[in-house]
């Protein structure tokens, strides 16, 4: 791997981050929260290191596939580090490890937090916190739709044929083209949500913060009580709708904005996502009749929580730990499924689960008709054996990481439910889990070794597992 080139690119990215660190300034001035100097300091530090990297590594080589893994992983690791500075400098989070956890939770669009009281945090810091998720979401869309397919990772290599672009080994031109188009879509839907929320009486500042974290399926809020405190039923419905959109493949949104709305229903993954989501809402709603007196409130809260956890956003409007056990089990199951490939949602992705289901049935049918050749198809196209094997490898690794990280949390003395729930909440980039990290709790009370482990889980989950794990192979580093 060309480490010099990798570091040079990080320099450029840090300059970009420095610019982003100045975005909260107007909010700081408006609310006079006194945090502006700390943002200027964070931006300066980020810019200084960025310039230093650009100067020390003046290489001009083209980026190849192998460097792609290093660039992507290192970008998230460094962004989380420099993005943690405002939390530390303003004293919002005292421990550097916890500040890193919060920042990683932002850039991976997870939404797990160590901040116990949001009311005492300066407004500009909360804007920054939401912005980290929005930027993470931007990164993920480009990553999953433009970079990972080229690296041969992620569910989207399935649709590779559909994405136009050069088939060369060089990454830059193709990524730039795709990025511009998709970011346009991302920006547009975010703006639409800001407008919709402000129509419901939400202030500009809070509408921006929540639109940022909805579209990223991140889930950071400006309120301790999350969306329940932000507004009434109108706001709940608006947020549910936009969470749903954020969990959909952004290239479908792109098509729809160009007039081809039928693309949604031609996508098998979208139909699967819709069916799983709708049937889960229905079952949870029916079982929640034991808990809710008013059916409409029940429907609103059931739809909100199911959408929030399936899209891996992690907002809350109700304490689902008080719901029937079945509803909780469904929510945990959905945490593993997550959003669609090419969305900002985490988890294993609908397309992978759909392919696993299809693969299983195909195996059964092969036993009955051993001589009949049947191929695994999606969207009427045959899925190659390599893709199936890669997806099955992903599935095994995902479960493996879940098991071993849960063992790690258990070794740190965390209780039964919390150990597994904290890991899946971070690995699938959701935010809240169950037990001691449930919807009414936070992650502050965990041991700091746990924060390190969970930060790693967020990173691995967000970057589709393979991207990070290849770096562990010694042979990856050889020329």
Q: Is 407 in the site for its own copies (CB under 8 A)?
A: yes
Q: Is 282 in the site for its own copies (CB under 8 A)?
A: no
Classify burial at 416, counting beta carbons within 10 Å of its beta carbon; exposed 0-12, middle 13-18, buried 19 or more. exposed
Residue 158 DSSP symbol = G
Q: Tokens 């511009």 label which residue?
A: 180
Q: Is 275 in the site for its own copies (CB under 8 A)?
A: no
Using the minimum distance from each CB to its own copies, give the nearer residue, 152 or 200: 152
Q: Is 385 in the site for its own copies (CB under 8 A)?
A: yes
Q: Determine if residue 87 is left, alpha or beta; phi over 0 gives left, psi from -120 to 50 gives alpha, anything else beta.
A: alpha
How many residues belong to the site for its own copies (CB under 8 A)?
57
Q: What is d(CA 262, CA 264) in angstroms, rounded to the nearest whole number?
A: 5
Structure-block tokens of residue 138:
């931007």
Q: Name the segment binding its own copies (CB under 8 A); options: 11-19, 84-92, 322-330, 343-351.
A: 322-330
Q: Is 473 in the site for its own copies (CB under 8 A)?
A: yes
DSSP assignment string, 312-366: T----SS-GGGS-HHHHHHHHHHHHH-S-TTSS--SS-HHHHHHHHHHHHHHHHH
Q: Is 466 in the site for its own copies (CB under 8 A)?
A: yes
Structure-block tokens of residue 236:
């709940």
Q: Name the segment binding its own copies (CB under 8 A); options: 50-58, 75-83, 135-143, 390-398.
A: 390-398
Options 81, 276, 330, 437; binder of its own copies; rule CB under 8 A: 330
Options 69, 159, 272, 456; binder of its own copies; rule CB under 8 A: 69
Using the minimum distance from each CB to its own copies, give the nearer residue, 69 or 159: 69
Least distance from C-beta 1 to its own copies, angstroms? 10
Q: Is 470 in the site for its own copies (CB under 8 A)?
A: yes
Least distance from C-beta 308 to its own copies, angstroms? 19
Q: Is 365 in the site for its own copies (CB under 8 A)?
A: yes
Scan residues 221-260 and list those touching its own copies (CB under 8 A): none
Q: Is 413 in the site for its own copies (CB under 8 A)?
A: yes
Q: What count of other Cβ atoms lies within 10 Å of the Cβ of residue 208? A: 24
Least distance from C-beta 479 to its own copies, angstroms? 12
DSSP assignment string, 75-143: HHHHHHHHHTHHHHHTTSS--HHHHHHHHHHHHTT------S-GGGS-HHHHHHHHHHHHHHHHHHHHI
Least distance from C-beta 455 to its own copies, angstroms? 20
How far the first Cα of the chain sits from its last, in Å, is 6
CA-to-CA separations, 116 to 222, 223, 285, 311, 442, in angstroms, rounded: 12, 11, 31, 24, 7
Structure-block tokens of residue 342:
């090419």
Q: Name the segment binding its own copies (CB under 8 A); options: 23-31, 92-100, 269-277, 391-399.
A: 391-399
Q: Is 475 in the site for its own copies (CB under 8 A)?
A: yes
Structure-block tokens of residue 402:
């879940």
Sequence-distant (6+) residues with CB within 8 A of 413 are 447
Using the minimum distance from each CB to its own copies, give the nearer residue, 119 or 475: 475
Q: Is 373 in the site for its own copies (CB under 8 A)?
A: no
Q: What is d(CA 164, CA 183) in angstroms, rounded to the nearest whole number?
A: 17
Using the minimum distance from each CB to its own copies, give the nearer residue, 224 or 328: 328
Q: Is 447 in the site for its own copies (CB under 8 A)?
A: no
Least distance from C-beta 290 to its own copies, angstroms? 10
Q: What is d(CA 219, CA 316) in angstroms, rounded to the nearest whole number?
A: 9
Q: Is 26 in the site for its own copies (CB under 8 A)?
A: no
Least distance from C-beta 360 to its own copies, angstroms? 5
H-helix or E-strand containing 49?
helix 36-56
Using the minimum distance from each CB to its own copies, give the nearer residue, 85 or 401: 401
Least distance from C-beta 457 to its own copies, angstroms? 15
Q: Is 178 helix (H, G, I), strand (E, B) or coil?
A: helix
**Interface with its own copies (CB under 8 A):** 65-66, 69, 151-153, 287, 324-326, 328-330, 333, 356-357, 359-360, 362-370, 385, 388-390, 392-397, 399-400, 403, 406-407, 410-411, 413-417, 419-420, 466, 469-470, 473, 475-476
């Amino acid at each position: 791997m060309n480490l010099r080139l990798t570091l040079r690119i990080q320099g450029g990215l840090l300059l970009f981050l420095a610019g982003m660190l100045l975005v909260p300034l107007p909010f700081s001035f408006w609310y006079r929260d006194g945090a502006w100097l700390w943002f200027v300091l964070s931006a300066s530090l980020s810019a200084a290191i960025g310039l230093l990297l650009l100067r020390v590594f003046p290489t001009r080589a083209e980026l190849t596939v192998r460097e792609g893994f290093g660039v992507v992983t290192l970008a998230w690791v460094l962004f989380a580090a420099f993005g943690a500075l405002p939390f530390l400098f303003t004293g919002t989070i005292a421990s550097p490890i916890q500040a890193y956890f919060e920042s990683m939770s932002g850039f991976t669009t997870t939404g797990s937090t160590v901040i116990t009281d949001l009311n005492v945090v300066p407004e500009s810091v909360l804007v920054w916190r939401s912005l980290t998720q929005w930027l993470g979401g931007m990164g993920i869309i480009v990553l999953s739709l433009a970079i990972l397919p080229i690296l041969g990772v992620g569910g989207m290599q399935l649709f590779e044929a559909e994405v136009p672009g050069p088939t060369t080994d060089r990454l830059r031109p193709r990524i730039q083209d795709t990025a511009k188009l998709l970011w346009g879509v991302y920006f547009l839907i975010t703006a639409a949500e800001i407008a919709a929320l402000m129509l419901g009486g939400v202030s500009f500042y809070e509408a921006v913060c929540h639109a940022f974290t909805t579209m990223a399926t991140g889930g950071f809020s400006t309120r301790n009580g999350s969306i329940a405190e932000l507004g009434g039923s109108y706001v709940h419905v608006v947020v549910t709708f936009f969470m749903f959109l954020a969990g959909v493949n952004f290239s479908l949104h792109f098509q729809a904005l160009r007039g081809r709305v039928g693309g949604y229903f031609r996508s098998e993954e979208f139909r699967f996502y819709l069916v799983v989501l709708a049937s889960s809402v229905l079952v949870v709603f029916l079982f929640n009749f034991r808990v809710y007196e008013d059916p409409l409130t029940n429907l609103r809260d059931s739809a909100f929580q199911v959408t929030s956890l399936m899209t891996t956003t992690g907002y809350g409007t109700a304490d689902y730990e008080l719901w029937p056990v079945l509803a909780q089990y469904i929510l945990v199951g959905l945490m593993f499924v997550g959003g669609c490939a090419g969305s900002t949602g985490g988890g294993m992705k609908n397309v992978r689960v759909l392919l696993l289901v299809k693969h299983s049935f195909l195996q059964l049918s092969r036993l009955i008709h051993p001589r009949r050749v049947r191929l695994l198809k999606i969207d009427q196209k045959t899925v190659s054996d390599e893709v199936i094997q890669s997806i099955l490898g992903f599935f095994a690794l995902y479960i493996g990481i879940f098991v071993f990280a849960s063992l790690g949390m258990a070794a740190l003395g965390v209780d039964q439910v919390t150990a597994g729930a904290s890991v899946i909440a971070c690995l699938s980039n959701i935010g809240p889990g169950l037990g001691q990290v449930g919807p009414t709790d936070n992650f502050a009370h965990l041991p700091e070794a746990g924060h390190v482990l969970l930060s790693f889980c967020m990173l691995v989950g967000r970057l589709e597992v393979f991207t990070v794990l290849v770096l562990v192979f010694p042979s990856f580093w050889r020329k």
